[in-house]
Chains A and B, each alone.
Chain A
Amino acid sequence: MDELISILREIHPDVDYETATNLVDGKILDSFDIISLVGEIADKFDVVVSAEYMIPENFNSAQALWNLIQKLQDDE
């Protein structure tokens, strides 16, 4: 989770990822942020986030994204 937060901080250092729950709906992350984020996640966590998982619900908070990463890791 810490590693994920540091990836997120690289993108937007001014966001409190511990508490934010509207990263997508609040327009904090835009589509290009999501794309680079998915790339970083693939590098760091060795999981592929495919199209079906690219929905706001999975990216609105660091926790939701972390849950997704874990789910994808378990599925493998």
Chain B
Amino acid sequence: MHNHVLKDLKNTVEKYPDKTAFCGEKSALSFRQLDRAIDGIGSFILGEGIRRSPVVVFMEKSPEEVASFFGIIRAGCYYVPIDAEMPSVRIHLILENVQADLLICDEDTEEKARDLGFGGKIVRYGEIAETAVDEAALTAVYDESIDTDPLYVVFTSGSTGIPKGVVGCHRAVNDYIDQLSEVLGFTDETVFGNQTPLYLDACFKELFPTIRYGATTYFVPKTLFMQPLKLVQYLNEKKINTVCWVVSALTIISAFGTFKTEIPKYLRTIAFGSEVFPIKQFRMWRQALPEATFTNLYGPTEGTGMCCYYRVDRDFEEGESIPIGRPFDNTDILLLDEEDREVTKASGKQGEICIRGTSLTLGYMNNPEKTSESFTRNPLQIHWPELIYRTGDIGRYNERGELMFVSRKDFQIKHMGHRIELGEIEVNAQMIEGITGAACVYDKEKGKIVLFYSGDKEEAEMKVLLKDSLPRYMVPNVTRKLERIPLTSNGKTDRVTLMSMVR
């Protein structure tokens, strides 16, 4: 039996041919239309002679972009989604890393795509989606597939300044969707309101359950996340009952008194993650929607989507943190101390959160060095090779035996739901001509990235220059020019002093 991520699609199409699968701002695709586009794109790719290779998707967020992802998977290839709004400099780094032969764009992104200096062929979605279906070729590819074959590469921030491409496979995605669906209770009546971008793995929570169960996903227009009242009206208009959002998207609604005017009355399942939920805001949500379930999700991209969950079952006082809970079934979490010894539940001590199981991704694309740093042998089991992923997150168990997130081992932060290596910002700052030093800290309280630098650029200019190389969410909120970056006695950046300067 094949364990392919598209294994349920044909069945779903048969059951719900005309139901909307994905709906964006400009267009929608029913399951039948989606399936036809997937087969068309798959047939086109096979016709081009492209096999088991990365294919870049450079499109606006839309149902058609999803069809491209699945079409690439249908062809036995793996998709590499690139945010069309990302600065070209960073896009180049990604293209160089993956070396793809084909890029799919759309009418809105074509011009930029052609300016990227991409070495392979560039095609528009509209040109290929209606390709005649080559049933025999598609079936042959499907029959050959195994569940450890890759299906995507998504890029995450890298501390050396170069983004890292995380390669994921069928088996891990299927397992993730099994576990997540059980915890959150997805069915054919689920109506998702998607908030997260399609160029990361966060959107798997909507994409894969939608085709498996015959659910519907609405892509909530980005501009609504600055208009809380209209956002709630949108959720009600579409009768959205399930959201899996970053915390900052949820607090946009609660923080501005929206609930006084309008309640998202169809919402029943609310999952959140990627950030700490301020308890004051969280209570407003629970008060507004006492019938809904709230689930905290935790997990790094390297562990395929999410790997731990906590279904909120009690009240929290301000100052408390919501646990990340327990691993999904079929996933194991190890806490390791600095000597790679196991930290037991009962000890209450801290350790690095490490993941064991099917949910591990395959590693980083064309990056053996980074892969071997984080995907290592399980030090607790020496008898045969077994991989774990070291998250770099420090955790501990509370007195109830629930896993709690404590901090990071390194300089990775979560800012507005995005995972960012402060090192990547520093490297990009240092690459600017005339800059002699750069160090970045995160002001958690205010949620601001603060860059300290030395050199001949003014503070405002510095911010503008960084926009050319960093995605918007990574551009420092504050830039501060110093005579020199303070160092500790052993020559490292003195982050303690820098933090005190932020305050």
Contact = CB atoms under 8 A, between A and B. Distances in A.
Nearest to A37: B226
Contact of B463 (A13, A54, A56): A13
Given A32-B416, A36-B477, A50 B257 contact: yes
Contacts of B478: 10
A38 B460 contact: no
Contacts of A13: 459-461, 463-464
Contacts of B228: 51, 54
A55 B230 contact: yes
Interface in B450-481: 459-461, 463-464, 467, 472-473, 477-478
Nearest to B259: A51
A60 to B, nearest CB: 12
B381 interface: no
A30 B229 contact: no
Nearest to B231: A51
A14 B229 CA distance: 30
Contacts of B256: 38, 49-51, 54
B116 to A, nearest CB: 20
Interface string B271-300: 000000000000000000000000000000
Interface residues of B, number: 29
A76 interface: no
B246 to A, nearest CB: 11
B226 A31 contact: yes
B222 interface: yes
B257 A51 contact: yes
B252 interface: yes
20 contacts: A10-B478, A13-B461, A13-B464, A14-B464, A29-B226, A30-B226, A31-B223, A31-B252, A35-B226, A36-B447, A36-B448, A38-B256, A49-B256, A51-B227, A51-B253, A51-B256, A52-B261, A54-B229, A55-B227, A55-B230
B248 interface: yes
Interface of B: prevailing SS: helix
Contacts of B222: 30-31
A34 interface: yes
Given A14-B464, A32-B248, A50-B257, A56 B472 contact: no
Contact of A54 (B227, B248, B459, B461): B227
B33 interface: no
Interface in B245-259: 248, 252-253, 255-258
Interface in A35-57: 35-36, 38, 48-52, 54-56
Contact of B473 (A32, A38, A51, A52): A32
B234 interface: no
A56 B187 CA distance: 36
Contacts of A29: 226
B266 interface: no
A25 B231 CA distance: 16
Contacts of B248: 32, 35
Contacts of A34: 226
A56 B227 contact: yes
Nearest first, the 4 A-B pairs at minimum CB distance are A13-B460, A31-B225, A31-B226, A51-B258
Contacts of B229: 51-52, 54-55
B243 to A, nearest CB: 16
Nearest to B232: A51
